[in-house]
Chains A and B, each alone.
Chain A
Amino acid sequence: MDTRRKSNKDGAEKPALKKKASSIGTGGNNGNGNAGFAHRAKTDLEVMFDKYRDMTRDADERDVIWKKGIILMGEDLGVTDEVTILLLPWKLQSCLSWGIQRGEWFHGLTNAKVTSHVKLRSLFTQLKEEVGGTPEVFGEFYGYLYDFLREDRGKHMDPSIAMEYWQKLLAKRFKYLKEWTTYVETAEPFKSRGVSRDLWKQLYEFAASTESLAAHEPDGPYPVLIDDFVEWARAKK
C-alpha cells in the first residue's frame, strides 16, 4: 500500500504533495474526495485514473485501478488481447495483484512520457515490440506476471489461473505446452498444492531451452516437477 496516501489522510504531507501537484496531478482530487484545493483542468492521466479506479471500494482501496478497471481500460484503448493489457502493469511495476496504484500510474506513465490517451495507446504498441523482441525481456515480463496474476491466495498460485495464462503466454513458445497442460490437469502434486514461483519461472526457462524431451537430464537444476513431467511425457510416447 502506498504509505504516502496514508499520511495524506492525516493531512501531514499535503504541502509536499501539493508541490508536486502540477506535475503529477494529484492536486485537489485526493482519495478523500476533498475538493478544497485549487481547481484546474484535470490532465488526461487524471481523467483516466479517475475513470478506471474503483470508487465503490473502501477508502484504502479507492486509489487503485483494480481488475475491472484494467479490463475496461483495455477495451477503451482497443487492446483486446488479454496478454497485451498486462504489459502496462509490468511497465509500471505494479506490486499489487491485479491492481495499479495511483503512485505507480502517475510516476510510471510520466517517466514513459505518456500524457494522453493517444500516447498510452502507442505505448502498448511499443511495449509489445519490446517484449516480442528478445527472449530475455519476455522472460522478465513472464516472471513478473506470477505475482500480478496470483490474487494473493496463500503461498502458491492456483493451478487453474496458471493454466489459463500458460495457454495465453506460452502458446508459441513452448513446444510441449499441450502435454504440459494435460500433465498439470492430472498430476497429483497440483491437486493439493499450487504453482510455486520457482516452478512458474523455471517452466519458461525449460520451454526456452529444451529442444527435445529426450535431451532433458533428470538431475539438472530444473524443479522436480518438471523432471516428473518429462518422465511422464516420455512414457506416454
Chain B
Amino acid sequence: MDDSEYPEAEDKERLEREWDDLKTNGFNTLLTVVEGGYTKPFDHTTWMHYYTKVYNLCTHCKLGPGDPSSKAPTGILYKRFGEVLTDYLKERRISTAQSGEMLLKEVVQKWKNHKLIVKWMQRLFVYLDRYYTKHNSCDQLTEFGLKCFFNEIYSSIKIDLRNAIFKHIHRERTGENVDRSLLKDAISLFVEMGMSSLNVYSSDFEKPFLKFTEEFYEREAAQWVAEDSATEYMKKAEQRLAEEAQRAAAYLHQNSEKGLTEAVENKLLADHQRTLLEMENSGFIALLRDNRLDDIHRTYRLFSRISKGIDPIARLMYEFVTNEGKQIVSKHSNTTDLCFKAYTNDLLALHTKYKKILAEQLDNNPTFQKAVKDAFEAFVNQQLQCIVKGAAPRTPPAKVYSSELIANYCDMLMKNVVEKIGDDELEDILEQVVAVFGYISDKDLFQEFYRKQLSKRLLMTTVNEDSERSLISKLKMRQGAPYTSKLEGMITDKNVSQDLQAKFKQYQLDNGISFGFDYTMQVLTMGCWPAFPMHTLKLPDQVEGAMERFQTFYDSITQSRKLKWVHSLSTVTLDALFNKQKFQLQLSTAFQACVLLLFNNREVLTGDEIAKELTLPWEEVKKALQSLAMGKYRLLLKDVAPGAKVLKTVDETDTFRVNTGFTDKSRKLKISTVVAKVNLKASVQVQQTVEEDRRHAIEACVVRIMKSRKTMEHPLLIGECISQLSNHFKPDPRHIKKRIEDLILREYIERDPEKTSLYRYVA
C-alpha cells in the first residue's frame, strides 16, 4: 500500500490494526460459531464493541465518510468486507462428486451458514450501509454478501444441484418418499439467488424443471396409452394432476404451479385426447353406450381443463345421440300400426336420459347442450313410414311426421287425464313433451293437428280445462303468444258458449218461448277453429224455428255478427216408437236424425229422394243411411231397385222404409256414424292444409322482405326468408324459389334486367 494513499500514516496503521482485530476476533469467531451450529455468535456487548470499531474507523478519517475515493476507510472496509467473505467461501468449495442427497444437504447447509454470517457481518458493518453504499450506488451489504455466494459457490454447482433436485423429484414421482423440506430449501436457494427478482429461479430452475416434467409425463402417457383403457388412463391422469398440484404447494415457488399444471395437462391430456376419446371399448362413445356416469363425469372434468378440450367430446356426443334417435325412428318406422304412444314414450325417455346426464355429469355446459339439441333436431324431423293395415298391396306406405305423432300423444294425454295420471306427473310429462316439441322444425304442422284434435275434444267430449290450459301455456312460453292464440280462443269460446246458453235459457223464460224440446247451442269464433264442412240441410220446422229464435237472441246481445250453422257437428236425441216399444235414440249427426224424421210423413223413400228433400249431397246421405240401415241397429230396411246389383253399401236407387219390426233389449240406443277406415286420410288433409298455409306464409314473407329492402340478391333473400320463418317451419329453398317465380308472374317483384340474381320490388 502506498503511503500517499493515506492522509496519515497513523491512520493507516490504525486501520490495519483494527482490521486485523475485526477479522481475527470478529469474523473468525463468527465463522467458527456459525459453523458449529450456533445461531447467535455475539452477545450484545461484543457486537457493540465491533460496531464501534467500524464506526471509529470511518469517522476519524479526514475524508468524509461518504467520500468515494478509495482513500476513505469506508471504501476500503467495504472492499475488505467482500474479500473476507469471498475468501472464506473459496475455502469451502463444494465438491460435485457427491451423491445427490449429500450434495443437496451440503449446499443447503452452507447456504444457511452463509446467510447467517452475512447477517451478522452486516450488523457489524451497518455503518457502511448508512453512509457509504447509499451514496455510492453500491449494493447494500446483505446483497453484496449474498452475491459472493452467488459468484463463488452457486455458479459452479447450480447445474449439479439442479440435477440432484430433479433426481429427487423423480424418485418421489415414482413412488419413493423423499425429504421434502430439504427440497424446499434447495429450491428456495434458486429463488433467493435472484435477490428480488425471480429471473434466476426462472431460468436456472423453473424452465429446466418444466422440461424435465414434460419429458417424464410424455413417457408415462405413452406407456399408459399402450397398456390401459381410457378410463384407467384418466383415473391415473387425475391422480397425477392432484399430486403435482400438491408438489407445487409443498416445495416449489408459488408462481410455478400454473406452469406446472399446464405442462402436465398438455402431456397427459391434450396430446392423447383423440386416442383416448376414440378408444374401442372405453372411449367416450362406449361410456355413453354403457351409461358409465362416473367416467363420463371424469372425462368432462379432465378435458374441460384444456382449451378446446370439450369440443371433440361434444361432437362424439352429438353423433351418438343422433344414432340412438335414428334407431328409435327406424324401429317404429315401416311397421304396421305405427303406435304413436310407444314412439313418443321412447323419445321422451331418451330426452330425459340425456337431460339428466347434461345436468349431473356435464355441468349443463352449453357446448354439450347444443350438441344434444342438434342431435335431437337431426332425427326428430325424419319421416316415418306407416304401412296401413288392410290397404291394397303395393300402395306406398304413408308418410307420417313426428309432429303428428306427438300431437296424437298430447291428445291421448288430455283425454286420459281424468283417469290415470296424477297432477304432478302430468306436469312433468307435459314439460318433457314440450321440450321435445321444441326440436321439431315444422311446428305449424303440429299446431294444425293439435288444433283439430282440440276442437274434437272440446266439442265431443268433456275436457279437463286445467290440463288443457297447462299444456297451452307451456307451448305459449316456448313459441310466443301468436302460436297459441287460436287454441286459447277455442277454449274461451267453449266457456262463452256456456254463458250464452244460460242467458238464452233466461231469455226463453223471459219471453215465454218454449220449443217442446231441449236445445243447446255452441257459438264458435270462425278462424280459431279448424274449417268444418258446411252443408245446407233442410231441418224440420220446429228446429228451424228454434234456430231463428236463437239468431234473434244472439243479434240482440251482439253487434254485426253473422252466424253460420254447422250441422255436421250436431248431435240429436230422438224418441222413437218401434213395434209399440219406446226407444230413445242417440244419434251422432243431425243428418241421421233428419233422415229418420222424414219417415214420419212418408212410408217409402229412395236414396235419391232423401237427398233432394234434405238438400244434402249424396255422400253425406249415404253415410247416414248406412249407419241406419246397415249398422248395428237396423232402424231402416233397404230394398234394392229391381235389376240393380246388391252392394255392400248404399245406392241412390235403393228404397228405404221403416223397420216396423225392430226390437232390442235396451231402451237407449246409440247410433254411431260410419267410421272412416283410414285415419291417414285426415292426416293427409291436415298436411295439405298446412302446405297451403305455408305457401301463403312464404309469399307474404318474401313480399314483406322485398318491400322493405327494395332490391335484394337471390341467396340473401332465400336466407332471410328461411330465418324469418324458422320459428314455424323450415321452408325448402325450392319452394321459396317457386313462390318467387309466382310473384314475378303476378308482378309483385321483377328481376333486374342487368343482373339475373337481383330482384326488385315493384311498387
Contact = CB atoms under 8 A, between A and B. Distances in A.
Given A198-B751, A227-B734, A220 B741 contact: no
Nearest to B758: A221
Nearest to A196: B745
Given A198-B751, A202-B756, A219-B715, A224 B744 contact: no
Contacts, number: 34
A5 B485 CA distance: 61
B219 to A, nearest CB: 53
A155 B756 contact: no
Contacts of B738: 224
Nearest to B734: A224
Contact of A196 (B715, B718, B733, B741): B741
Contact of A219 (B718, B744, B751): B718
Nearest to B737: A224
A223 interface: yes
B745 A198 contact: yes
Interface string B722-763: 000000000001100110010011000001000011010000
A205 B756 CA distance: 8
A198 B741 CA distance: 8
Contacts of B718: 219
A201 B744 CA distance: 12
Interface string B433-461: 00000000000000000000000000000
Contacts of A224: 734, 737-738, 741
Interface in A176-217: 196-198, 201-202, 205
Contacts of B745: 155, 196-198
B550 to A, nearest CB: 47
A155 B737 CA distance: 20
B757 A221 contact: yes
Contacts of B751: 198, 201-202, 221
Nearest to A139: B753
Contacts of B757: 220-221
B73 to A, nearest CB: 95
A42 to B, nearest CB: 40
A196 B759 CA distance: 17
Contacts of A197: 745
Nearest to A222: B756
Nearest to B735: A224
**Chain B residues touching A, majority SS:** helix
A187 to B, nearest CB: 15
B721 to A, nearest CB: 12
Nearest to A228: B734
B417 to A, nearest CB: 46
B301 interface: no
A12 B751 CA distance: 42
Nearest to A143: B753
B240 interface: no
B712 to A, nearest CB: 11
B714 interface: yes
Nearest to A156: B745
Given A221-B757, A224-B734, A224-B737, A198 B744 contact: yes
A219 B744 CA distance: 17
A223 B741 contact: yes
Contacts of A218: 734
Given A155-B745, A196-B745, A198-B741, A221 B756 contact: yes
A198 B738 CA distance: 12
B753 to A, nearest CB: 9
Nearest to A199: B741
Interface string A153-176: 001000000000000000000000
Contacts of A201: 751
Contacts of B744: 198
A236 B601 CA distance: 69
A201 B734 CA distance: 20
Contact of B714 (A198, A221, A227): A221
Contacts of B759: 221
A205 B752 CA distance: 12
B749 to A, nearest CB: 11
A176 to B, nearest CB: 18
A198 B739 CA distance: 13
Contacts of A205: 756
B737 A223 contact: yes
A205 B741 CA distance: 16
Contacts of B714: 220-221
A198 B756 CA distance: 11
Nearest to B717: A221
A223 B733 CA distance: 12
A155 B741 CA distance: 14
A197 B745 CA distance: 8
A79 to B, nearest CB: 29
B676 to A, nearest CB: 31
A201 B741 CA distance: 13
B741 to A, nearest CB: 5
B762 to A, nearest CB: 13
A94 B738 CA distance: 31
Interface string B695-716: 0000000000000000000110
B720 to A, nearest CB: 14
A222 B733 CA distance: 12
Nearest to A140: B753
Contacts of A220: 714-715, 757
B750 to A, nearest CB: 9
A196 B757 CA distance: 18
B747 to A, nearest CB: 10
B757 to A, nearest CB: 4
A219 B756 contact: no
A202 B718 CA distance: 19
A90 B718 CA distance: 36
A196 B741 CA distance: 9
Contacts of A196: 741, 745
Nearest to B733: A219
Contacts of A222: 756
Contacts of B741: 196, 198, 223-224
A114 to B, nearest CB: 28
Contacts of A202: 751, 756
A223 B737 CA distance: 7
A198 B748 CA distance: 13
A202 B745 CA distance: 13
A194 to B, nearest CB: 11
A202 B755 CA distance: 11
B269 to A, nearest CB: 42
Instruction: Indicate the member of A201, A205, A221 with the most B CB atoms within 10 Å.
Output: A221
A220 B734 CA distance: 10
Contacts of A227: 734, 737
A224 B744 CA distance: 13
A11 B737 CA distance: 52
A206 to B, nearest CB: 9
A205 B751 CA distance: 12
A33 B478 CA distance: 78
Interface in B467-519: none
A20 B624 CA distance: 80
Nearest to A206: B756
Given A202-B756, A219-B733, 19 more contacts: A196-B741, A197-B745, A198-B751, A202-B751, A205-B756, A219-B718, A219-B737, A220-B714, A220-B715, A221-B751, A221-B756, A221-B757, A221-B759, A223-B737, A224-B734, A224-B737, A224-B738, A227-B734, A227-B737
Q: What 7 pairs between A and B have smallest CB-CB spacing?
A: A221-B714, A221-B757, A219-B733, A205-B756, A224-B737, A198-B744, A224-B738
Interface of B: 714-715, 718, 733-734, 737-738, 741, 744-745, 751, 756-757, 759
12 contacts: A155-B745, A198-B745, A218-B734, A219-B718, A219-B737, A220-B714, A220-B715, A220-B757, A221-B759, A223-B737, A224-B737, A224-B741
Interface of A: 155, 196-198, 201-202, 205, 218-224, 227
